[in-house]
A and B are shown apart, each in its own frame.
Chain A
Amino acid sequence: MNQTLIKLSELGPEMAMLVGACLCLVVGLHRSAEIRKLAPSLVAMALIVAGLLTALEVVDASGVWTMATFVKMMVCGIGMLLVMFMSTVPDAVSPTGKFNPSRVMRGEFFAFFLFSLTGVMLCGGANDLVWLFLALELTSLPTYVMIVISRDTDEASESGIKYFFLGAVAAAVFLYGFTMIYGATGMTNFDEIRQAIAVTGVTPLLTLGLVLSIVGIGFKIAAFPMHFYAADVYQGAMTPVTAFLAFVPKTAGFVSLIALLSLVTQGNIVIDPVTQQLTSPLPPMIASLLWVMAALTMTLGNVLGLMQTNVKRILAYSSISHSGYMLVGLLGMSAGIGSTAIGNGAAAVLFYLVAYALGNLAAFAVLSCLQRNGEEATELDALSGLAKRHPGLAAIMLLSCLSLVGLPPMVGFIGKVYLFGSAVQQGFAGLVIVAVVNSAISAVYYLRIVSSCYFGEKSERSQIVLSSPYVIPLASIAVGVAILLGMGFGGNSLAVTANQATTDSTLFEQVDVQLIEQLLRTPAIADPAIH
């Protein structure tokens, strides 16, 4: 009873979002178009209220960030940028006066937007397998609808149905994984699972469960065995929805992976035979799975990205490869024992999610300003000569591409330093070399986009449609923030926050303290029989 009340009191931001979503549904049914157009403002208000409530939660916890509050704040911030982007761009698409569902169905569209973001927030605070499953489904079910109703084209329907079917299979796979974790431990509550693992060690059934969960959630983050849909889905959806897809399911996926992996790292505490320090590594089998997934994901993403001519497909493959980099960070997570921000892989992943979202959002914002014959122009040559036609847009594209490549002044660079640094500390130097080589490969296709903007012949293949006064400020804000963060101070404090969010929350308190003491008393042996 008390636990339920405590838990409910932490869900203020989510409730605000749900109320906002329901209001959007009602407003979307109004017969006057003026009132229907209020839906985006309602979304923005819901996000602001949710952000304030999150801030209050942090103040209540005397300024200590947890993973839940960090994710909520991140979702509110990036969601705000996304809604500015979405609310204005749909008017520009299909100006032919044709029936345009994205205008008629605005209420539903924005309600689904809020539902999906609520799902991500819930993933951040999940402390139960049932909860995590429901949160992941709440994140993904609305996205299927958003893709299909965003555009009235065959491509949108095609990408919607592909995404839906593969999503359903992936959901079944990770649900099977959750079932096995439950089977191995007899619990669904994370704290109880941790205690059970501290007693029984990592059993084969638990490992199998984790493997299935990782592979299934790999769909959400577009990682190796489940990556192939990304390009088709990103191409078919309308550009603002694509930007949404590149951020939201990926965030939900990585946050859930951090939560799941911390079950084993925090339950599985051993003494490092070399340094005599207390560490809690990933089980070897899980570590090698993540190693292979990370290497294949980034390599496939980058190599296939080289062959594309459609900018949306290039960005789709780039998003696959970024998932690969973030998987490297997951390998570096050691439950953050006594570590700084650079040694904490989970914090690095959270930080990189922000960095990646900003760069990606700006690139998609520029892309959505380009049209050809009333449809989106997404081929590479549509960008050519953009610098001569509109220097501002070209500059934004340049900065966002540089940030995605990971060049020093940008936030993308800082993010990669944290990711790769934490992996090196955990002894995955080989994988980091693969990742660095991959970053170099990725520079080729990002620079192709940039060179098309700056050195391409001025073509009339596409026209620039600045449908709204918001798109430009939005994109510049995103890039401005990206540079600012990259400059050091901002990036550093964000990383410190992320570090705090992933260490202070649950570490060790739930783990059997006696077991740790026992381990500490028998140092050099590091008896494997205990596990």
Chain B
Amino acid sequence: MFEPIHSLALTHYLITGAILFVLGLIGFVTRRNLIIMFLCTEMMFQGVSISLVAFSRYHLNMTGQTFVIFVLTIAAAEAALALGLVVLLFRRKHTLDSEAWSSMSG
């Protein structure tokens, strides 16, 4: 009746990745601190990376893992950019609250 979980299947990794992705998305929508919002987007990227590695193992080729290296590079570039922007914004208004940056709308 119950299958033993001694071997992790593809699904488990995919679900882990999906959970990370969704948690990141939820955090991005609900949090108001700029740095935490950025960390949430990073978490989404990590969720994707886990899925990529899982698929790579499933298909028995290295393409997915290569892809992950590139994703990490892009994530690092985005991190550098994000921290630069956040510092710039903090100097202007001395707050990290994203609500402070909503002057334009309509």
A145-182 vs B: 1/0 string, CB under 8 Å? 10010000011011111101100110111011011101
Asked if B16 lies at the interface with its beta carbon under 8 angstroms from chain A, I say no
* CB–CB B41/A172 < 8 A: yes
Stretch at the interface among A27-35, A228-236, A279-287, A475-483: A228-236
* CB–CB B104/A148 < 8 A: no
Interface of B is mostly: helix
Asked if A338 lies at the interface with its beta carbon under 8 angstroms from chain B, I say no
Shortest Cβ distance from residue A168 to the other chain B in the assembled complex, whole angstroms = 4
* CB–CB B106/A157 < 8 A: no
**Complex Cα gap A155–B104 (Å):** 8
**Complex Cα gap A172–B81 (Å):** 16
Asked if B63 lies at the interface with its beta carbon under 8 angstroms from chain A, I say yes
Shortest Cβ distance from residue A452 to the other chain B in the assembled complex, whole angstroms = 19
Interface residues on A, range: 35 or more
Interface of A is mostly: helix
Number of A-B contacts (CB under 8 A): 111
A309-352 vs B: 1/0 string, CB under 8 Å? 00001000000000000000000000000000000000000000
Q: Which of A158, A161, A175, A308 is in CB contact (< 8 Å) with B71? A: A175
Asked if B19 lies at the interface with its beta carbon under 8 angstroms from chain A, I say no
Cβ–Cβ < 8 Å partners of B103 in chain A: 154-155, 158
* CB–CB A175/B81 < 8 A: no
Cβ–Cβ < 8 Å partners of B67 in chain A: 129-130, 133, 178-179, 182, 188
* CB–CB A148/B85 < 8 A: yes
Shortest Cβ distance from residue A433 to the other chain B in the assembled complex, whole angstroms = 29
**Complex Cα gap A313–B104 (Å):** 10
* CB–CB A182/B63 < 8 A: yes
**Complex Cα gap A129–B82 (Å):** 25
Asked if A183 lies at the interface with its beta carbon under 8 angstroms from chain B, I say yes
* CB–CB A182/B104 < 8 A: no
Cβ–Cβ < 8 Å partners of B41 in chain A: 165, 168-169, 172
> Which residue of the partner chain A has the closest CB to B79?
A168
Cβ–Cβ < 8 Å partners of A232 in chain B: 104-105
Cβ–Cβ < 8 Å partners of B89 in chain A: 157, 161
Shortest Cβ distance from residue B99 to the other chain A in the assembled complex, whole angstroms = 11
Cβ–Cβ < 8 Å partners of A172 in chain B: 21, 24, 41, 44-45, 48
* CB–CB A175/B48 < 8 A: yes
Given that A164-B81, A172-B21 are known contacts, is A186 also in contact with B59, CB under 8 Å in the complex?
A: yes
Shortest Cβ distance from residue A143 to the other chain B in the assembled complex, whole angstroms = 11
Interface residues on B, range: 35 or more
A67-102 vs B: 1/0 string, CB under 8 Å? 000000000000000000000000000000000000
Shortest Cβ distance from residue A115 to the other chain B in the assembled complex, whole angstroms = 11
> Which residue of the partner chain A has the closest CB to B52?
A179
Asked if A137 lies at the interface with its beta carbon under 8 angstroms from chain B, I say yes
Q: Which of B64, B92, B98, B105 is in CB contact (< 8 Å) with A154? A: B92
B81-101 vs A: 1/0 string, CB under 8 Å? 110011011001100001001
**Complex Cα gap A308–B106 (Å):** 8
**Complex Cα gap A236–B101 (Å):** 12
Cβ–Cβ < 8 Å partners of A171 in chain B: 74, 78
Cβ–Cβ < 8 Å partners of A487 in chain B: none
Asked if B70 lies at the interface with its beta carbon under 8 angstroms from chain A, I say yes
* CB–CB A176/B51 < 8 A: yes
Asked if B25 lies at the interface with its beta carbon under 8 angstroms from chain A, I say yes
Q: Which of B37, B38, B70, B88 is in CB contact (< 8 Å) with A130? A: B70
Asked if A307 lies at the interface with its beta carbon under 8 angstroms from chain B, I say yes
> Which residue of the partner chain B has the closest CB to A129?
B67
> Which residue of the partner chain A has the closest CB to B69?
A130
Asked if A454 lies at the interface with its beta carbon under 8 angstroms from chain B, I say no
* CB–CB B85/A161 < 8 A: yes
Cβ–Cβ < 8 Å partners of A109 in chain B: none
Cβ–Cβ < 8 Å partners of A130 in chain B: 63, 66-67, 70
> Which residue of the partner chain A has the closest CB to B101?
A158
> Which residue of the partner chain A has the closest CB to B103?
A158
* CB–CB B64/A182 < 8 A: yes
Cβ–Cβ < 8 Å partners of B24 in chain A: 172
Shortest Cβ distance from residue B18 to the other chain A in the assembled complex, whole angstroms = 9
**Complex Cα gap A158–B48 (Å):** 28
Q: Which of A129, A137, A141, A157 is in CB contact (< 8 Å) with B101? A: A157
* CB–CB A179/B51 < 8 A: yes
> Which residue of the partner chain B has the closest CB to A232?
B104
**Complex Cα gap A158–B89 (Å):** 8
Cβ–Cβ < 8 Å partners of B45 in chain A: 172, 175
* CB–CB B92/A157 < 8 A: yes
Shortest Cβ distance from residue A394 to the other chain B in the assembled complex, whole angstroms = 26
* CB–CB B88/A148 < 8 A: yes
**Complex Cα gap A183–B55 (Å):** 5
Identify the interface centre among A160, A182, A235, A308: most chain B CB within 10 Å of its CB.
A182
Shortest Cβ distance from residue B17 to the other chain A in the assembled complex, whole angstroms = 8
Closest 4 CB pairs of A and B: A172-B44, A186-B59, A183-B55, A168-B41
Instruction: Name 22 interchain pairs, CB-CB below 8 A, sorted by A.
Output: A130-B67, A130-B70, A133-B67, A133-B71, A141-B81, A154-B93, A157-B92, A161-B98, A164-B82, A165-B37, A165-B38, A169-B25, A169-B44, A172-B45, A176-B47, A176-B51, A182-B55, A186-B55, A188-B63, A188-B64, A235-B104, A308-B106
A interface residues, Cβ below 8 angstroms from B: 129-130, 133-134, 137, 141, 144-145, 148, 154-155, 157-162, 164-165, 168-169, 171-173, 175-176, 178-180, 182-183, 186-188, 231-232, 235-236, 307-308, 313
**Apart from A162-B101, A168-B38, what are 5 other A-B pairs with CB-CB below 8 Å?**
A130-B63, A161-B89, A164-B85, A171-B78, A175-B45
B interface residues, Cβ below 8 angstroms from A: 14, 21, 24-25, 28, 34, 37-38, 41, 44-45, 47-48, 51-52, 55, 58-59, 61, 63-64, 66-67, 70-71, 74, 77-78, 81-82, 85-86, 88-89, 92-93, 98, 101-106
